[in-house]
Structure 1
Amino acid sequence: MSSNNGEKANEIFKAQALVYRNMYGHLDSMCLKWIIDFGIPNIIHNHGKPITLSELVSTLNIPSAKVESVDLFMRYRAHNGFFDIVRIIDDDNDDGEEEKEKEAFALTTASELLIKGSENPCISPVVELVTDPTLSSSFYHINKWFYDENRTLFEIALGKPVWEFLDKNPTHMSLFNEAMASDSQMVKLALKDHNINMAFQGLESMVDVGGGTGTTAQIISEHFPKLKFVVFDLPHVVKGLKASNNLSFLGGDMFESIPKADAILLKLVLHNWSDDNCIKILKNCKDAIVNVLRDDKKGKIMILDIVVNEEQDEPEIITRVKFLMNISMHVLLHGKVRTKEEWKNIFDEAGLCDYKISPFSGYLSLIEVYP
């Protein structure tokens, strides 16, 4: 085989591997779901140290015929960064023999994010929502979606828009609210950053539009106890939620009007909606802010959302996540994950021309927009 032919063959082999990697990609989410369903991060966390395969299968009460399968799954997840494989001394050696080393699985930062019930952030509910069979099976209807001019993928698969589906299915609504609440825990980490902290300084009142059950608002209001905070969402979402000293809940529709405040917060709201709907929401935010402006301060809209920036983002993780989320929002909700230029366009259309974008968390940015 000539050199040129060899190079061409290698390119074809690599291309085949790329196709296969994407073909089997759904197994990544299924293996991640398996980790959470079996509570493996919690098992290792409660164990207090790296856990051996025999200890893990004993805790899980796995049949002996499936021990090798557990090892296979754990090693694959270790390859992907969810566990570390370490060497430990065998403490159970009671027969007087020389101490032996064994392999064990240790938590990584990624798997620590999946530990339930601890004080640290946990995003397991997000995984449970995205991998829910009823919701995730919608993607099998993508071919139909491309030939349907108006309906979202959820409408095609479930027979109704997602918000209506959630409203009529309390179990899925609870799953959705838990997922949004768990993602909001990352705000606590972001507020440790001085620049992010300063963005909230000097504000006396804030409305969290589409704030759900109030996890983000709770975190921010505890951090700024003098800030009067209102969580504004659909009446059935906030019904029965209890107010605290500086935090209250109010039902309404952001497409009709928004309560007045120094600042309006939109966390992961606008990527759910089309440009036209975002412009309507932003205009209502502007009206709410303009009405409380005084000479000594300047109100603003604070958007926590995704900004696609291929030139600056780490390509294999951050950019890939943003593109995948864009596809998800696009087909499921008619939404959009926007570039800087696309954000600018909707701000201009809403009459909001002064803004700045700052990093917030791994995949989120803080956009401060001024009327």
Structure 2
Amino acid sequence: MELVSGETIDELIQAQTHIWDHMFYFIKSMSLKCAVQLGISDAINSHGKPMTLSELVSALSVHPTKTQHLYRLMRLLIHSGFFALQKVADDHSQEGYFLTPASRLLLKDNPFGSSPLITLVLDPILTEPYNCMSTWFQNDDPSAFVTAFGETMWEKSSRESGFNRLLNASMGGDSSLIGKAVIIKCKEVFEGLNSLVDVAGGTGNMAKAIADAFPDLKCTVFDQPHVVADLQGSKNLNFLGGDMFKAVPPADAILLKWTLHDWRDEECVKILKNCKEALVTRNDKQGGKVIIIDMVVGDQDDDDKFTETKLLFDIEGMSCLVGKQRNEKEWANLFFSAGFSKYKINPVLGPRALIEVYP
């Protein structure tokens, strides 16, 4: 019996192409990493106008024999939306590369830059767990990271200063960007507060954005002692070392930015209970709340244009940590299990939402 007919051959070819596309997704990631390592965005930006291939080769000190190879790399990066082409002003026979909004986030001096996060996520330390994923599914290790290295990511970061710096730097650019976005899109969330604690706030970029926007708001960045040991506060911002699983400093509001997705439900409930206790100790006025910035996976994925982003982050959390991206029901279960009475989700931060949770 003929297994392939004229009616099915196109479907098979499409299916094969679909497999190829996904099989080679890693090439898109590694090409982006190469662009960051070569400093392509910075070279084009410094040029000040569309940059021809030969000019880019010269600026990057690319070996002349690799000129056409760089052209092929740029062709893929253009297709992926990181760069664009236009005619060169003084020579319309040539085209030059220029930056897109995405490649501007690759500039080294961009305070909202994504290069550190790209470097972290595509570092061999965080890619190796994926080689162990099938093995992990068949053992009882908490994550594929543990299967790969015999310790958790947090244990590794506390032992290896270079990896810890990479981890903190990767969060810094994102915190600067999302901090600015929150002030622009959700500024009312912080109005009327006298004090705020940014739990697991890292190097403090998120808290700095809030502190700058609200000079009378006392902001505290609360993180592990080795994270904040060498950080200096200023004006209405200070740093405090501690353990969020033991206690959280009291404040009008507690901020958890991109934190809870790293942890299991039981650990999240523990953190949230400590946050609630920190609010309960403030008896002088009403209105205390926990502010969460994290992803909410939609139940109707077809209507969510950020679904793939959220699902990819979910697998990253599963493989390298022990957490997950949650849907609204899962978030609500955490809040109510921790003793909170109500919450409000404001999905205005792209793939992430700002969630206000009230005692």
Q: Which runs of 5+ in 2 are unaligned?
A: none
Q: Relative to 1, partners in 2 of residues 1:184 and 1:276: Cα closer, same or farther, differing over 3 Å?
A: same
Q: Relative to 1, partners in 2 of residues 1:219 and 1:314: Cα closer, same or farther, differing over 3 Å?
A: farther
Once the two structures are TM-superposed, the CA of residue 311 in structure 1 deviates from its matched residue by: 3.6
What's the counterpart of residue 292 of structure 2? 303
Q: Relative to 1, partners in 2 of residues 1:61 and 1:314: Cα closer, same or farther, differing over 3 Å?
A: farther
What's the counterpart of residue 147 of structure 2? 156
Partner letter of residue 180 of structure 1? Answer: M
Q: Which segments of structure 1 move beyond 4 Å, counting only runs of 4 or more?
A: 312-316
What's the counterpart of residue 135 of structure 2? 144
What's the counterpart of residue 6 of structure 1? 6
What's the counterpart of residue 24 of structure 1? 24
Residues 142-291 of structure 1: pairs in structure 2 closer than 5 A: 142-194=133-185, 196-291=186-281
Residues in 1 aligned to 2:6 and 2:193: alpha-carbon distance in whole angstroms: 65
Partner letter of residue 267 of structure 2? Answer: N
Residues in 1 aligned to 2:198 and 2:183: alpha-carbon distance in whole angstroms: 20
Once the two structures are TM-superposed, the CA of residue 344 in structure 1 deviates from its matched residue by: 0.9
Question: What number of residue pairs does the alignment pair up?
Answer: 357
What's the counterpart of residue 106 of structure 2? 114
SS at match of 1:193: helix
Q: 1:130 aligns with which of 121, 132, 143?
A: 121
1:134-180 CA deviation, whole Å, 9 max, x = no partner?
22122101111101223321111112111110111101100000001
CA contact (8 A) 2:252 2:288 kept: yes
Partner letter of residue 251 of structure 1? Answer: G
What's the counterpart of residue 104 of structure 1? 96
What's the counterpart of residue 94 of structure 1? none
Q: Which runs of 5+ in 1 are unaligned?
A: 92-98
Residues in 2 aligned to 1:275 and 1:231: alpha-carbon distance in whole angstroms: 24
TM (normalized to structure 2)? 0.95
CA contact (8 A) 1:214 1:231 kept: yes
Q: Relative to 1, partners in 2 of residues 1:170 and 1:230: Cα closer, same or farther, differing over 3 Å?
A: same
1:89-116 CA deviation, whole Å, 9 max, x = no partner?
3x3xxxxxxx542111111011011111
SS at match of 1:211: coil
Once the two structures are TM-superposed, the CA of residue 351 in structure 1 deviates from its matched residue by: 1.4
Partner letter of residue 307 of structure 2? Answer: T
What's the counterpart of residue 38 of structure 2? 38
Residues in 2 aligned to 1:63 and 1:241: alpha-carbon distance in whole angstroms: 41
Once the two structures are TM-superposed, the CA of residue 310 in structure 1 deviates from its matched residue by: 5.7
What's the counterpart of residue 61 of structure 1? 61
CA contact (8 A) 1:87 1:102 kept: yes
Once the two structures are TM-superposed, the CA of residue 315 in structure 1 deviates from its matched residue by: 5.3
SS at match of 1:306: strand
Residues in 1 aligned to 2:21 and 2:187: alpha-carbon distance in whole angstroms: 41
CA contact (8 A) 1:52 1:104 kept: yes
Residues in 2 aligned to 1:169 and 1:222: alpha-carbon distance in whole angstroms: 32
SS at match of 2:314: helix
User: In percent, how many aligned pairs have the same letter?
Assistant: 42
Partner letter of residue 301 of structure 1? Answer: V
TM (normalized to structure 1)? 0.92
CA contact (8 A) 2:183 2:210 kept: no
TM-align CA RMSD? 1.8
